[in-house]
Structure 1
Amino acid sequence: MKRMQWMLAVLLCCMASAATALQVTDDRGVTVTLPGVPQRIVSLLPSLTETVCELGYCNRLVGVDRYSTFPVELHNLPQVGGGIDPNVEMVLALRPDVVLMAKSSPAVARLESLGLKVLALEPKTHADVQRVMLRIGQLLQVQDAQRIWRAIDAGVSAAAQSLPASVRGTRVYFEVNPGPYAASEASFIGETLTRLGVKNIVPASLGPFPKLNPEYVVRANPDIILIGQSSAASLATRPGWTGMRAMREQRICDFAPDEANVLVRPGPRMAEAARIMARCLEAKAPRTSAGVSGAKP
């Protein structure tokens, strides 16, 4: 009789544990099972870090990558390297319940091999951003994680409505980093530019963030170049670039590091990114008819 009672108690305990277990499927299609809502989180991708904080759970973060610098509450947290090259020993020492990181990071398998739970998420488009926010909301058991996307969507629409009609159709080139790597129409940056009413010279068919032959940009001859200040300094040294209309007429939006960080992170500050781009486009757009630049690639 006692043995039966013991077995029943064990069964009930197991059933209770299963009832409280939390399962979240990441961008690899891997279902990560946790005993409950994570209390200790390491985030190795800035957009994921910002989403955790926007959902009200910055206090659950115990470590971040070197690029996760917003919001200011993160400044006192241990930095454990980059998303691609994290300091594995530091991550282990923080005893995280789960590690958030990019699906493309080669460190995913390494961390999992050491017994850590890894949720691999990598937003590249607007739809990705919505899905990732919902996944993190599910992880943290936030009932209305979708509210973040509603605020982003409203902010992007407001930025678009703030632009004069003369900006529509302006042909733009957005450089993410030297290479050059560009944000195409298929990327979250490109989708925001489309909503702002301008024409991206890099088509979706090249993938979200393609590496381009610099001559491609010369042939496309954009009206405006959007680029970080650290890369803008070298534009004049690129063969043929000084002849482009945007270069001749100084129609270049060179973003300071803080603004550039906002622009390239597919997270809660995407509405702010749209406002930054809108201000640039209004200031730099040609005052003539839209779409008047040179030959297309």
Structure 2
Amino acid sequence: MKAWLLGLWVSPVMALSVQDDAGRTVTLPHVPQRIISLAPHATELLFEVGAGAQVVGVSAWSDYPAAARSKVQIGGIDALDIERIQALKPDLVVAWQSGNRASDVSQLQRLGLPVYYSEIQRVDAMPDALRRLGRLTGHDQTGAQKARQVAQDWSALQQRYARRTPVTVFYQVWSHPLMTVSAQQFIGDAIARCGGVNPFAHLPGLTPTIGVEDVLLARPQVLVTSTPDGQPDGSLQDWARWSALPAVARKQYLYLRADWLSRPTPRLLWGIRQLCEGIERTRQQSDH
């Protein structure tokens, strides 16, 4: 009986070559069966394209979908357990270029482990990322289907809020030090697509550090942040002392669910919809 009938054929014809988000070509001799994810968003993407059963290890905070919680944990995104990763004998490692320590990933590469970088910085890039990850893990059809759905939903969302009256938005990533998002980060991209104006869009880096004075000069109409459950936690209340800020004067505080908005996965569209609806409420109030 021919070997391929038993699923054992590993001819070079079956080799998989896919470009990752760092622009590197990742080539595997066959469909990977023991995948390790080094970031929560990467874990979620692997499950989205149908590769959940092939995942043998995940980073801390890989809590979605529920099945991900039963996988072996291999440390935090910036503190990987290299020995545990080795022991799991992965045939593919999906890393987060801007989240994992470069030294840790380099060590994995020196051990001969194939590394695929997942780094989605714009919502527009997500469909292609899903297609490529689906192809690399042997789930072309599911990856393509998920990609089409994300592209359709994203297009509909953009059309709904296109050409709306601009609203100045300040997104607070962290309060001490005060950090926000630039246009290079997917939340910054989402703000613009919702008809928002991010006064710090031009700054370098994904999450630049700024000063209180910068925000006061920007005079945002709405203050936005994310919390674990999307409920107010007081993280924006420090701004209440600045009563001249339009957002404070009109009590325009918007709290979003962190797991929806902080991970570049299809659930990000849920968070963006929530963001757009919040900006729209501010827009409507400002028009009166």
* TM-score (ref. length: structure 2): 0.82
Q: Secondary structure at the match of 1:75?
A: helix
Q: Does 1:129 align with 2:126?
A: yes
Look up the match of 1:108. 105
Look up the match of 1:5. none
Look up the match of 2:16. 22
Contact preservation (8 Å) 1:156, 1:275: no
Look up the match of 1:233. 234
Flag the structure with larger Rg: 1
In the TM superposition, what are the counterparts of 1:251-262 in structure 2 within 5 Å?
251-255=252-256, 259-262=257-260
Cα distance in 2 for residues equivalent to 1:42 and 1:188: 24
Q: Secondary structure at the match of 1:206?
A: coil
Higher relative contact order (CA 8 A, sep 6+): 1
Look up the match of 1:177. 174
In the TM superposition, what are the counterparts of 1:52-67 in structure 2 within 5 Å?
52-67=46-61
Contact preservation (8 Å) 1:186, 1:208: yes
Name the amino acid aligned to 2:197.
Answer: K
Aligned residue pairs, count: 272
Alpha-carbon distance, 1:279 to partner: 3.1
Q: Secondary structure at the match of 1:215?
A: helix
Structure 1 gaps of 5+ residues are 1-14, 291-297
Cα distance in 2 for residues equivalent to 1:67 and 1:280: 27
Q: Secondary structure at the match of 1:253?
A: strand
Name the amino acid aligned to 1:134.
Answer: R
Distance 1:242-1:229 versus aligned 2 partners, 3 A rule:
farther
Q: Secondary structure at the match of 1:225?
A: strand
Contact preservation (8 Å) 1:43, 1:49: yes
Identity of aligned residues (%): 29
Contact preservation (8 Å) 2:127, 2:150: no
Cα distance in 2 for residues equivalent to 1:242 and 1:101: 44
Alpha-carbon distance, 1:129 to partner: 2.5
Q: Does 1:38 align with 2:32?
A: yes
Name the amino acid aligned to 1:36.
Answer: H
Look up the match of 2:265. 267
Alpha-carbon distance, 1:186 to partner: 3.1
Look up the match of 1:90. 84
Bigger CA drift: 50-59 or 200-209? 200-209
* TM-score (ref. length: structure 1): 0.80
Distance 1:254-1:126 versus aligned 2 partners, 3 A rule:
closer
Bigger CA drift: 76-85 or 154-163? 154-163
Bigger CA drift: 76-85 or 24-33? 24-33
Look up the match of 1:153. 151
Contact preservation (8 Å) 2:165, 2:283: no
Distance 1:20-1:150 versus aligned 2 partners, 3 A rule:
closer
Look up the match of 2:6. none
Structure 2 gaps of 5+ residues are 1-8
Alpha-carbon distance, 1:241 to partner: 4.5
Bigger CA drift: 167-176 or 203-212? 203-212
Look up the match of 1:3. none
Contact preservation (8 Å) 1:224, 1:253: yes
Contact preservation (8 Å) 2:120, 2:264: yes
